[in-house]
Amino acid sequence: MLGYTLKQLSEALQKKEFSSAELTQFYLDRIQKYDGEIAAYNFVNENVLTQAKAVDERRAKGEALPAYAGIPMALKDLIIQKDMPATCSSRILEGFVPPFQGTAAQLLEDAGFLCLGKLSMDEFAMGSSNETAYYKKTKNPWDTTRVPGGSSGGSAAAVAAGLTTFALGSDTGGSIRQPASLCGITGMKPTYGRVSRFGLIAFASSLDQIGPMTATIQDNAAVLSVIGKYDKKDSTSLDVAQEDYTKYLTGDVKGMKIGVPREYFAEGITAEVRECVNNAIKAYEAMGCEIVDISMPHTEYAVATYYIIATAEASSNLGRYDGIRFGYRAEADSLKDMFYETRSQGFGDEVKRRIMLGTYVLSAGYYDAYYIKAQKVRTLIKQDFVDAFEKVDAIICPTSPTTAFKAGEKMSDPLQMYLSDINTISLNLYGGCGLSMPCGFGSDGMPIGVQLLGKYFDEGRLYNLAYAFEQQAKLPVMPEKLK
């Protein structure tokens, strides 16, 4: 069952090669066997087998079932699945079980998927290594002394280790693409407004987007086809037609123009990563693509701009964790102390750091100098993309400047950690789509990822480009020892 695409699983279930219960049990067994070491799951759904059996019964009766009926999957622990804990890997959400259903989870459920559980992440999606998680610091399946990346580290590791068929992650500044790159899988950050954020616990509302993390391009396209739907419950959701992205996967990319922005190959990118990505570029050239050198001059301001906007929004979004209505509450004698202690004990250092930064940049007297300025720079960065997409169909660059680093290596240096996302952040400021897929391995044996960036709602084109490369490269998607 391992190595099956979703389409193959769906067909196998329909042909009754195996049952949903067998498939689900297979994944539960793998979680049992490997998750002790990988530490990807915050929560495993005990009911999933019962749910799988119910699907099997319905199938046995010949009922009409949705396409993916009985296929298990898993969610990053900030995506709301009704009646399942949602912790954001934070102590402050200890015990919080949402009484409502999120849109992405609902769409997956409607398509027949079963939820195996919730995956670890950097606390409130703040981090690039999954080390800010309060409950479980996930390990990279390729080398467990290394980080899986973040913040969707649990999702990336679970897919890479075969502990789920696929997972949903969320990407605010690269949180799907960077861990996908570090774990050797495919991650897509869809266009802002493509996937409903209703049911996504907010980090930075104007940047967050849910996306699929998968072993193959085809699976990725299939999952986005399910969750990429307009939703009235999210005002920022865009009313565009739902698409079947698998239809784009022709492998014919001849004549496409791919831009190579020189700013994305700047210092900090290791020689290995650069070479590996350059090989991918050559492969595209060989497939008939036109490679165009481009410049995106405001790239150097992206990280600074991002940390102003994202932290400003986060400081506001995280105000609701006050101990009054849900989650963790500290004991204290007065209301003010209760607020104070709850938040002091409930949030970790990185979250506190960002709340303070965000509070500062929004405060009277600094608002114009920081927040307004950052919004202006954001407009310039967007314009870089608009200009680039007048010349090219897609942009190619490294996802992460390095392969997965050792656990603990960057924890004491937040700025160094922030630079892990240097090549992914700009896209969130622009709002377009971006995909990371494996393009080779470093001398340390760790996966290297290449990133394709596209304009608004151009996911189909990115999938086709990625598919063409994937068909040629035929890279292993899972460490040998876990097979």
Which residues are known to be catalytic?
A: 76, 151, 175
- Max CA pair span of the chain: 70
Identify the residue among 339, 382, 444, 475 touching other proteins (CB under 8 A): 339
Phi, psi of 363, deg, nearest 5:
-75, 155
Listed in sequence order, the residues at least 6 apart from 201 whose beta carbon sits closer than 8 Å to its beta carbon are: 78, 79, 80, 86, 88, 93, 124
Identify the residue among 142, 326, 328, 418 touching other proteins (CB under 8 A): 326
Kindly state the smallest distance separating residue 198's Cβ from other proteins, in Å.
5
Identify the residue among 6, 23, 74, 200 touching other proteins (CB under 8 A): 200
Kindly state the smallest distance separating residue 158's Cβ from other proteins, in Å.
21
Nearer CB in complex with other proteins: 265/339: 339
Q: Could you give the residue ranges of the DSSP H alpha helices within 252-372?
A: 271-286, 302-317, 335-346, 349-362
* Amino acid at the residue 395: I
Identify the residue among 23, 93, 280, 289 touching other proteins (CB under 8 A): 93
Identify the residue among 61, 241, 286, 325 touching other proteins (CB under 8 A): 325
Q: Does 75 bind other proteins (CB under 8 A)?
A: no
Q: Does 99 bind other proteins (CB under 8 A)?
A: yes
Q: Does 371 bind other proteins (CB under 8 A)?
A: yes
Kindly state the smallest distance separating residue 218's Cβ from other proteins, in Å.
29
* Amino acid at the residue 400: S
Kindly state the smallest distance separating residue 286's Cβ from other proteins, in Å.
43
Q: Does 345 bind other proteins (CB under 8 A)?
A: no
Q: What is the DSSP string of 349-385?
A: HHHHHHHHHHHHHHSTTTTIIIIIHHHHHHHHHHHHH
Stretch (H or E) spanning 26: helix 20-38
Buried b (16+ CB within 10 A) or exposed e, 8-17: ebbebbeeee
Nearer CB in complex with other proteins: 78/433: 78
Kindly state the smallest distance separating residue 228's Cβ from other proteins, in Å.
17
Q: Does 369 bind other proteins (CB under 8 A)?
A: no
Identify the residue among 6, 80, 249, 256 touching other proteins (CB under 8 A): 80
Identify the residue among 98, 141, 173, 187 touching other proteins (CB under 8 A): 98
**How many whole angstroms separate alpha carbon 398 and alpha carbon 259?**
13
Listed in sequence order, the residues at least 6 apart from 139 whose beta carbon sits closer than 8 Å to its beta carbon are: 37, 38, 39, 145, 146, 147, 148, 157, 407
Identify the residue among 232, 254, 391, 406 touching other proteins (CB under 8 A): 232
- Residue of 173, 228, 210, 140 lying closest to 460 (CA atoms): 228
Phi, psi of 108, deg, nearest 5:
-65, -45
Of 22-30, 273-281, 289-297, 358-366: span binding other proteins (CB under 8 A):
358-366
- Residue of 175, 221, 40, 57 lying closest to 117 (CA atoms): 40
Kindly state the smallest distance separating residue 322's Cβ from other proteins, in Å.
6
Q: Which residues of the chain form contacts with other proteins (CB under 8 A)?
A: 78, 80, 86, 88, 93, 96, 98-100, 102, 197-202, 204-206, 232-236, 312-313, 315-316, 319-322, 324-326, 335, 339, 359, 362-364, 367, 371
